[in-house]
Homo-oligomer: A and B are copies of this chain.
Amino acid sequence: MALEIPEVVIDRLPVYGRALDLLKQQGREVVNSQELGERLGVTPAQIRKDLSYFGRFGKQGRGYNVARLLDELNQILGLTREWSMVLVGVGQLGRAILAYDGFTPQGFRIIAAFDDDPNIIGTTVDGHLITSVDELAATLLERHAEIGIVAVPGATAQGVIDSMVASGVKAILNYAPIAAQAPPHVRIKDIDPVLALQSMTFYIKDQD
């Protein structure tokens, strides 16, 4: 049945999950695809189709049980466990990532942070002792981490990614402004505000 699920579908599931989380906090027990769709700017059919890839979670005539559907989505996405991450690059951006309080509640924990600046190595940032990037591989041998975060300048980013891949990291969140290369079995997502800005200007450049 669910042998080939489009990546766009997977990308939308966390969005549904976040909305359900909010509804749950508000004490809502049931929600239908129409209301969920309105909140997220998605058609109700889209939501129902997406969910149907994984099973039948709703009840006709009522809708979806909020807590139940949220649990199902977390199960599907693998969010019922903790995920360990390593951060490379403790500049201004890296510090903001270390300080960000949105990862932990969702089960993502930074277990080690690395840099190549001797002035930073050995210091403690937000409770994390900064280690030399040369020890990345050694550290990952004893303390396993599935996810790597790249917050270094573009020039050194690909090298960092290669090291992570070699050390068995399975997914990478890349903040560096490069077209990162990785083997097929390693997932990569880019966070790139400049690209986002540069495509928006196309649409607004001729307004008023």
Q: Is A141 interfacial (CB-CB < 8 Å)? A: no
Which of A44-52, A131-139, A194-202 lines the interface with chain B?
A194-202
Q: Are B96 and A197 in contact (CB under 8 A)?
A: no
Question: Chain A interface: which size bin?
Answer: 35 or more
Which of A57-65, A100-108, A112-120, A159-167 lines the interface with chain B?
A100-108
Q: Is A24 interfacial (CB-CB < 8 Å)? A: no
- CB within 8 Å of B: which residues of A? 10-11, 13-15, 17-19, 39-41, 76-79, 81, 83, 92-93, 95-97, 99-100, 102-103, 106, 108, 146-147, 170-171, 173, 177, 179, 181, 185, 187, 189, 191, 193-207
Given A10-B202, A102-B193: 6 more A-B contacts, CB < 8 Å: A10-B203, A79-B198, A147-B197, A171-B204, A187-B204, A189-B199
Q: Are B207 and A185 in contact (CB under 8 A)?
A: yes
Specify which chain B residues have a CB less than 8 angstroms from the CB of A39 in the assembled complex.
179
In the complex, residue of chain B having the shortest beta-carbon distance to the beta carbon of A77:
B202
A201 vs B20: C-alpha distance when bound (angstroms): 19
Specify which chain B residues have a CB less than 8 angstroms from the CB of A193 in the assembled complex.
97, 100, 102-103, 173, 191
Q: A10-B199, A10-B202, A201-B171 are in contact. Are A92 and B102 (CB under 8 A)?
A: no
Q: Are A171 and B185 in contact (CB under 8 A)?
A: no
Q: A181-B41, A195-B14 are in contact. Are A201 and B95 (CB under 8 A)?
A: no
Specify which chain B residues have a CB less than 8 angstroms from the CB of A147 in the assembled complex.
197, 200, 204
Q: Are B78 and A170 in contact (CB under 8 A)?
A: no
Specify which chain B residues have a CB less than 8 angstroms from the CB of A195 in the assembled complex.
11, 14-15, 18
Specify which chain B residues have a CB less than 8 angstroms from the CB of A10 in the assembled complex.
199, 202-203
A186 vs B144: C-alpha distance when bound (angstroms): 44
Q: Are A204 and B19 in contact (CB under 8 A)?
A: no
Q: A173-B193, A187-B203 are in contact. Are A14 and B179 (CB under 8 A)?
A: no
Specify which chain B residues have a CB less than 8 angstroms from the CB of A81 in the assembled complex.
205
Q: Identify which of B19, B79, B97, B189 contacts A196 (C-beta below 8 A).
A: B189
